Structure 1
């Protein structure tokens, strides 16, 4: 089958090796996912890893219908939005499906968000009801009262708040309203920074998510082969579209058991795999790294795992090899996606029912029932195989657009329906996609999105900062971390720690500034846009060329000789040096995927990385950023 076709003189279009299939795009999402429920109604659907409670498919269906009736009773109407501010738990699933039943929209958010982050999203999405845990209520009380937004807790009963069990789960499902749900109606509203700018609501429709799930698990030779006897590990957060789509919705469609893990912790994770005989493991690179480096993995039986899939950020070939040794019977591969694409653009064909041979480091092949092209970033011309350019995707699975932001939508989806990803890659002679770079500004911290403009908007109001810019810096444990370049106000003696603390109080853990560097000015284009490539070059030169003296100092200690944060003996106490107990890879573990350890964080010892990660390596040093024993600014 020729998977490259020319539609005219300018377009070279790539398609899946798998044939297109029939997709029932007319069905609402909940109807599509439950279409075959009669075949496995008594089988496990959700397993709560926190307490071992098992919900059958019949129980999940009836509970979701009760929740739908309860939402309607409490005034939630078709097209209105509820916010799911929850960790992985059965209530997340019941609420999401319940909202779908009545034609409502679910916007999902990280429960570790700060109050300002939650409020921004709640206001932008016009949220009517926030379903959450009791510990987050203090963040929301004032906003709730001032904006007449209801709060509902799934655990403790709190004065002034609704309760999930009594107010939703005990409702009469026969009172469900009769609503007509159209294929282009929005069902999910995750937030994404896209290729640039601040977080925006991504409108995912019933048709779009049905299409995306079908592209993965439907057909005689499904791209992602899953079935009703599978047990799928769900440790990735359901508020992230990767987990919601490829774990929850795909699992529901095929009748698999979905094992919900509240929060990643390596020993609990391994115990659950062994106890429930997990067969499918959807992970992200930080979890893969934790598995590869853990010295306790060999104590557990992981032989039941037959598929290990990694997404959200590229996985280096070294990590691929390391994790293969831990899962002796598993096929390992990667997928590629972005929220705006629903999210899956490409998936490894080694996961298919009739698998294909794949190359290490590839991110899969384009999903079926869609089209992909690679374009020249300067001219927009379509490129042939083995030439790098911007990846574009077209198909019914992509977003409807950004909520109330037509300009951003037009910048992302062109008039011909192509979604421009902002990622640079190429397709080889075997139709496999390789990601090589990013056009977009987005920083990927362990798969989580960090938008530089959001942090810059927090830095600039600091009384001792006159201008600021944020870029990414490579990090072994996180993939990338945000670092700031700041222009200090005249006479300012503000320190790096002061600036970092100023930001950290306002953001969730993965958005915290890792390093702060002082500069005389921020490079900008004639139109006023920050020229980030100049700052990235400055960052690389800083660590490649040896001593530097213009790091913003801490506590009066002048940072010099590439010793960060004014710490003596050439070793930073965090962010890439000796980690205190309870610190994962130099980053606090509140909600983090990292593994908390005593000792050396990020594998840095005696000035060099011990573990190769993400890129070119020379003489045992990661990322090729080294000179005379200097690794990422840590000097022996």
Structure 2
């Protein structure tokens, strides 16, 4: 990975350049040239004859394989069928589907036909599905039979007719994927500007507010896949476990599209189950395992892991939520692999930073360096003033701002939210508080909206969660601010004990108190069975705040 401009200037001893760069931004070197291509053309237009019969997708449960030849044929056939049935360039199509090989066909078939895919959380209620379909102005919906009841209710509410509710594996009264593929229609010739044409409309998770449609163009997705190619060392002979949901931007872009670009094989899992996860990795000899931190906790601490041969795993790559250094080290040691993490947002397609594979000196608690072509700044959370970047050591914390070709043009039908997030110069305010060192390595301290203000001091939940997870009898933990008897905010820890743990509140409080500043210590502890998290692994802090618990003592 190329060093930042600042790092290179430091290496040369160019003090004038250091001073200039320290007052502005960190910029990744060697920006990627972004071709004016659609996602389909990037991934499949130059598919070599030698790659046609390589395995593209493996159903983790059944072992059924789909070659690149078969996948492209299915994508083209579906695009032709959709066009013949009235799908026009720019029409929106909902996809409510777990991680199965057919997802790749449907997703890329929609994009190949010039449509815009709005991918939907498989756990959504009918009302939530209908809200997204209506907001996205979707005229079609693809789903699977286990999700048909809620899909049908939502489609009816959104005004989607039966002939445009496609049940992939078949339900009477609706077309199936097989029906569409057997139309044998010629794929359409579509023309659009990749820089402005919307490829996807994923929606934010709703953990920090009302879900918003994130407009991502073909250029956004193409740019980020190419940025990943320069930053993540995945190769054509790798087998990639795909348990993180394709409906989420992380699974959609980093797993589905990036793995296909590299001609690797994707092993799909429709949902996370630890036993099935371990069996799939072992049986299919997965080499890259993309996870979220909750899975890392299981890999580090669950006794079941010892029952499976995971020796094929070369890299465990975490994203979607912060991964702690201690937890990363525990996974690496137990599996004998390298553990890295990346950072990004739905609004950035999603990757902006990664820890490069093969650089053990980069702190595993960090998010690594900016991917090529990504600019970064830090601003003071109180004043908005730009923070100077360090000539040595680590900067003061500030809100991370990013700019690059992967940044969204805005939120659908929400100019106000767009203007709050994107400034006129194209800088996206991430809402995350970060530091950066002189080598351009960034570390997320916490979410701006999740900071706890204790007696005027800022307390970062992520810091306390890392301390808690280092305890051998704590399987998982989350920290939120709750009001005490005086109405002041205090840190409260929700803790999941490991099996057979003998752990009480006083022990937990003492453990944290010995490892943090006095104002940061945990003041309340509640033991629960599971930490509520989104499908992408983010802690649902609003759910924890909604729990009824006792107040803190003085």
Q: TM-score range by the shorter chain?
A: 0.7 to 0.9
Mean Cα deviation higher: 388-397 or 177-186:
177-186
Three-state SS of the structure 2 residue aligned to 1:251 is helix
Task: Pick the structure with more helix per residue.
Answer: 2
Residue 201 of structure 1 is aligned with which of 193, 213, 222?
A: 213
Separation in 2, partners of 1:21, 1:63: 31
* 1:229 alignment counterpart: 237
The correspondence of residues 139-538 of structure 1 with structure 2, limited to 5 A, is: 139-145=150-156, 147-149=158-160, 150-159=164-173, 161-166=174-179, 168-192=180-204, 197-217=209-229, 222-328=230-336, 330-349=337-356, 351=357, 355=359, 357-383=361-387, 384-385=389-390, 386-440=395-449, 480=478, 537-538=488-489
TM score, norm. by length of structure 2: 0.80
Distance 1:435 1:178, change over 3 A: closer
Assess if the C-alpha contact under 8 Å between 1:10 and 1:381 holds in 2.
no
Q: CA RMSD in A?
A: 3.4
**Match of 1:128, SS?**
strand
CA separation in 2, counterparts of 1:162 and 1:414? Answer: 45
What are the residue-to-residue correspondences of 1:476-625 with 2, within 5 Å? Answer: 480=478, 537-540=488-491, 605-607=503-505, 618=515, 624-625=521-522
Cα 1:30–1:608 change in 2 (3 A) is farther
- Give distance in 2, aligned partners of 1:612 and 1:261: 40
Matches of 1:407 and 1:333, distance apart in 2? 36
Contact 2:287 2:315 in 1 (8 A): yes
Is residue 195–residue 442 contact of structure 1 (8 Å, CA) maintained in 2?
no
Residue 370 of structure 1 deviates from its aligned partner by 1.6
Distance 1:400 1:2, change over 3 A: closer
Could you tell me how far apart the structure 1 residues matched to 2:527 and 2:187 are? 64
Residues 75 and 249 of structure 1, relative CA distance in 2, 3 Å threshold: same
Whether the 8 Å contact between 2:220 and 2:408 is mirrored in structure 1 is yes
**CA distances 1:67-92 after superposition (whole Å, capped 9, x unpaired):** 11122223221111111111001121
Find the aligned partners of 1:303 and 1:202 in 2 and give their Cα distance.
Answer: 39
Contact 1:317 1:361 in 2 (8 A): yes
CA deviation string 1:323-362 (max 9, x = no partner): 012221x22111111110111110012x26xx46311311
Q: Which residue of 2 aligns with 1:34?
A: 44
Secondary structure, aligned partner of 2:438: coil
Which segments of 5 or more consecutive residues in structure 2 lack a partner in the other structure? 7-16, 453-460, 470-474, 529-548
* 2:60 maps to 1:49: yes
Give the secondary-structure state (helix, strand or coil) at the position aligned to 2:165: strand
State the secondary structure of the residue aligned to 2:376.
strand
Matched residues in 2 for 1:158 and 1:204: separation? Answer: 34
Closer, same or farther in 2 for the Cα pair 1:192/1:6, shift >3 Å? farther
CA 1:113–1:196: 2 relative to 1, 3 Å: closer
| 1:47–1:631 distance in 2 versus 1, CA, 3 Å | closer
Give yes or no for the alignment of 1:23 onto 2:34: yes
The total of aligned residue pairs comes to 491
Distance 1:239 1:151 in 2: 18
- What is the CA–CA distance in structure 2 between the aligned matches of 1:275 and 1:612, rounded to whole Å? 43
> Residues 479 and 343 from structure 1, CA distance in 2 versus in 1: closer, same or farther, beyond 3 angstroms?
farther
Q: 1:177 & 1:292 partners in 2: Cα distance?
A: 50
- CA 1:148/1:631 → structure 2, altered by over 3 Å: closer, same or farther? closer
Checking the alignment, whether the CA contact within 8 Å between 1:14 and 1:371 is kept in structure 2 is yes
Query: What secondary structure, in the 3-state scheme, does the structure 1 residue paired with 2:186 have?
Result: helix
Per-residue CA deviation, residues 420-463 of structure 1 (Å, 9 max, x unaligned), is 001000111221111112113699xxxxxxxxxxxxxxxxxxxx
Q: Deviations over 1:201-231 (max 9, x none)?
A: 00111001111111111xxxx3101111010
Structure 1 unaligned blocks of 5 or more: 444-470, 486-516, 520-533, 545-574, 577-584, 587-596
User: Given the superposition, is the C-alpha separation of residues 379 and 9 from structure 1 closer, same or farther in structure 2, using an over 3 Å criterion?
Assistant: farther
CA deviation after TM superposition for structure 1 residue 141, in Å:
3.2
Determine the structure 1 residue equivalent to 2:10. none
Shift of 1:247: 0.8
Asked if 1:83 corresponds to 2:87, the answer is no
Whole-Å Cα distance in 1 between the matches of residues 307 and 489 of structure 2?
Answer: 45
Q: How has the CA–CA distance of structure 1 residues 376 and 62 changed in structure 2, closer, same or farther, with 3 Å as cutoff?
A: same
CA distance in 2, matches of 1:338, 1:142: 30
* CA 272–136 in structure 1, closer or farther in 2 if over 3 Å, else same: closer
Distance 1:612 1:230 in 2: 45
CA–CA distance in 1 between the matches of 2:407 and 2:398?
Answer: 20
**Cα separation, partners in 2 of 1:63 and 1:357, compared to 1, 3 Å:** same
Q: For the Cα contact (< 8 Å) 2:320–2:343, is it kept in 1?
A: yes
SS of corresponding position for 2:213: strand
Look up the SS of the partner of 1:335 in the other structure. Answer: strand
